Structure 1
């Protein structure tokens, strides 16, 4: 397991542990109080727990070595399971929360032992914050350069930004649940409890949209960042035999697996052996500036002209 996957695995395992605790607390509180908003939060945390299991599965499957049917390896397994996570967030988290909220509004029933709900929300907020802090710390360098949503868009490590989004939604969900319980108690109207549940569902629907959009883009195939692309181009130009870089294509096969296809115009007068040696230099130069590059395909323009 490389360093990036090790960090991602650590973030996901912390999130899994905290969410298991949160599910038990919120589920118990929902039964005691009869609160729809606490039940919605339990659905939310149950979905997050399932998601962490799937993310760990994706990371494990993505480490399988290349074979005849998958010559570029299984790096995109992580992206696939990240997309499945978005479906679960929408189906289990958002769908059930909205449904439960509507049911509470249409068939209201009084709340009881609301103090237990406040106590559990406090404990849940603490657990969510612990997990959120671990994920945020890993994501901080990217956030400093690109901002929160920019970092999510440019990140090639879905496990970390999914956990960060889930925990952010978890903290916001706790705030919504607290407001819903408070308003229900102050105005003695459980409609606020139902509205809080619907609000949590809408929040999770937004998170599901963000996760699905970014993981879909990674599944289709994203290029490396502009900075990395510039580094690769400059490294190729630094090879003495290279006259011009005609075309440079890149794609992430996984968080730390990059494919590079480059069309190079070498200087005139090189024979076949010299061109082959120059190609080796190009490949080495690319890997020196970006170790994540696992596959390099170099098309030599001078050889094409010779064959023509």
Structure 2
């Protein structure tokens, strides 16, 4: 994912959420609706999350140093994980608490026209943000399903924004459902039910994000397609007989570490082996440009060594 593409989706989501948060709090003040209050907190949490993603992207661009010889690329994964924690602790926990409180102690929704007007505005704004995230994701997604893209993407920003925007749209629908039912029936319990639904939704999204970003933080390897390209590049090098074993790990979304033990002929001189390693590295970088850190260890091809 290009930084500009990810930032465009983040800024679109941040702009929409700040405007929506203000309108939701105004509606919550005039209506006394817990669904609207929960949605306001949800938008504030989302806005904070988008700021965290921007900070993570900026910090990840720092040059490698003595204490971090492989650079800071994985800071993007850390901040994406923090987003999941914030979404759960602030968004989900508050909504669940507020929903239970309003179910136990319900009260009527006052001036519902405020709630309906704000919810319609918010749905339009979130729809714009969601559309931007989809458009930025499509070139990277290719023919993958959305579920596969979110699970396999090594760039955390777009999957996070996609899930946040989807959650925001569904949350608005839940809030609209709760407020509408409360107005129709005259029973404020429905408002609490809508709030509870928002809390459960945010908790589910937060757990999904936490699982996916935890995997990236732990150090994910290259995709199977990328590993095949690397192996093919190595084995196409004349001085390399075969790949004995290979390990890969993402140091960041656009930086891959490749470590491999390669078999060379026992008749090759040291200079020939060195030239072969240089050529193999060139071919790997040509096939997989994000392979920035490459370590190749030559070994004798014992499977073809003549026996006495």
TM over 0.5: yes
Moved more, 270-279 or 101-110: 101-110
Counterpart secondary structure, 1:269: coil
- Contact persistence 1:272–1:303 (CA under 8 A): no
Match of 1:190 among 185, 188, 191: 188
Q: What does residue 37 of structure 2 align with?
A: 39
Q: What does residue 161 of structure 1 align with?
A: 159
Counterpart secondary structure, 2:143: helix
Structure 1 residue 72 and structure 2 residue 70: aligned? Answer: yes
Q: What does residue 272 of structure 2 align with?
A: 274
Q: What does residue 232 of structure 1 align with?
A: 230
Structure 1 residue 284 and structure 2 residue 282: aligned? Answer: yes
Match of 1:63 among 61, 64, 69: 61
Q: What does residue 30 of structure 1 align with?
A: 28
Q: CA deviation at 1:6?
A: 1.8
User: Structure 1's 144 and 288: CA in aligned 2 closer, same or farther, altered over 3 A?
Assistant: closer
Rounded to whole Å, the distance in 1 between the matches of 2:131 and 2:95 is: 26
Counterpart secondary structure, 1:63: coil
User: What are the residue-to-residue correspondences of 1:69-218 with 2, within 5 Å?
Assistant: 69-218=67-216
Counterpart secondary structure, 1:68: coil
Counterpart secondary structure, 1:239: coil
- Contact persistence 2:60–2:73 (CA under 8 A): yes
Counterpart secondary structure, 2:160: helix
Q: CA deviation at 1:121?
A: 0.6
Q: What does residue 262 of structure 2 align with?
A: 264
Q: CA deviation at 1:267?
A: 2.7
Aligned-residue RMSD, C-alpha: 1.5
Structure 1, unaligned runs of 5 or more: none
User: How many residues matched?
Assistant: 303
Rounded to whole Å, the distance in 2 between the matches of 1:210 and 1:146 is: 18
Counterpart secondary structure, 2:58: helix
Rounded to whole Å, the distance in 1 between the matches of 2:154 and 2:22 is: 32
Counterpart secondary structure, 2:266: coil
Rounded to whole Å, the distance in 2 between the matches of 1:138 and 1:270 is: 49
> Per-residue displacement from partner, 1:229-258 (whole Å, max 9, x unpaired)?
111111111111111111111111111011
Rounded to whole Å, the distance in 2 between the matches of 1:257 and 1:46 is: 32
Q: CA deviation at 1:143?
A: 4.3
- Contact persistence 2:265–2:301 (CA under 8 A): no
Q: CA deviation at 1:140?
A: 2.0
Match of 2:239 among 235, 238, 241: 241
Q: CA deviation at 1:103?
A: 1.2
Q: CA deviation at 1:48?
A: 0.3
Q: What does residue 17 of structure 1 align with?
A: 15
- Contact persistence 2:127–2:169 (CA under 8 A): yes
